[in-house]
Amino acid sequence: MKDQIIRITAVTAVLMAVLILFTSLAASHAFAGSNIPVTIDIPVTYIVEGNAKMAGGDTVTLTADDPSSPMPGGTEAGKKTITMKNEGTYSFGDIYYEGPGVHWYTITRKVTAKKGVTKDDSTFKAKVIALNDGHGYVLVFKEGSDEKSELVYVDKVAPATGDTQSLLLYCGITIAAAASLAVYTASRAKNRRRETKNGSK
């Protein structure tokens, strides 16, 4: 009886050891590759409605709401600033996340007044979600709104009312056409009177 108990105890110990080893291996496999680094960028698109040569030149700044959040290379004093020279899509640069987490950023534009141009001075919030599988996502919202948006600045350039040369050209053409029509009408009327006078003789 005693030997049987010893054998049962030994078997139980072996089974427990196997179970512990299996659980350890399963856990290490399940968490293998966790906290894979994530690299993302936050693109900014600039659009001009109208004469694109009249717009451009303003700066856009990215700031982390939490100073401990990662920032792209070239960041100074907690801010990364880029210049939108022409229409197109710009990037603040790659942002590297060593582990999973949620980070909030604020994007602002420094607007410089320019005659005839209505500039978009929207402020955006960017929510970056870094997952432990190496994937990252960026959700953008206009400040004060819960609806997802695009990080796009749209400037509107008014028609070139100051282009006096074109305006004078159009006016000149119109006046010339009206004068020609008046001369033609007067000439026809004069010819008709002459024909009527000659026919009555």
Task: State pLDDT tens for residues 159-196.
Answer: 876 554 554 554 455 565 555 555 555 556 555 555 55
Query: Mean pLDDT lowest for which of 3-12, 101-110, 155-164?
Result: 3-12
Decide: helix, strand or coil at residue 174: helix
The pLDDT of residue 69 = 97
The pLDDT of residue 159 = 85
Query: Mean pLDDT lowest for which of 12-26, 101-115, 143-157?
Result: 12-26
Residue 55: pLDDT band by 50, 70, 90 thresholds? Answer: confident
Decide: helix, strand or coil at residue 154: strand
Residue 90: pLDDT band by 50, 70, 90 thresholds? Answer: very high
Whole-angstrom Cα distance, residue 186 to residue 178? 12
User: Residue 58 above 60 pLDDT?
Assistant: yes
Whole-angstrom Cα distance, residue 146 to residue 156? 26
For residues 185, 189, 194, 197, the Cα torsion angle rounded to the nearest 10 degrees is 170
Q: What is the mean pLDDT of the chain?
A: 79
Query: Mean pLDDT lowest for which of 122-126, 143-147, 174-178?
Result: 174-178
By the 8 A CB rule, do 151 and 128 touch? no
173 token code pair: 């053409």
Q: What is the pTM of this model?
A: 0.64
Q: Which of 105, 136, 126 is nearest to 38 (CA)?
A: 136
The pLDDT of residue 21 = 45
The pLDDT of residue 57 = 84
Task: Select the more confidently predicted residue: 66 or 55.
Answer: 66
Whole-angstrom Cα distance, residue 18 to residue 16? 5
Residue 25: in which H helix or E strand, if any? helix 2-30
> Chain centroid to CA 164: how far?
36
The pLDDT of residue 56 = 84
| Residue with token string 């640069």 | 93
User: Residue 46 above 80 pLDDT?
Assistant: yes
Q: Which of 162, 167, 45, 164 is nearest to 114 (CA)?
A: 162
The pLDDT of residue 193 = 57
Whole-angstrom Cα distance, residue 118 to residue 51? 12
Query: Mean pLDDT lowest for which of 112-121, 122-131, 170-179?
Result: 170-179
The pLDDT of residue 19 = 42
User: What average pLDDT does the segment 127-139 reach?
Assistant: 95
53 DSSP 8-state letter: G
Decide: helix, strand or coil at residue 149: coil
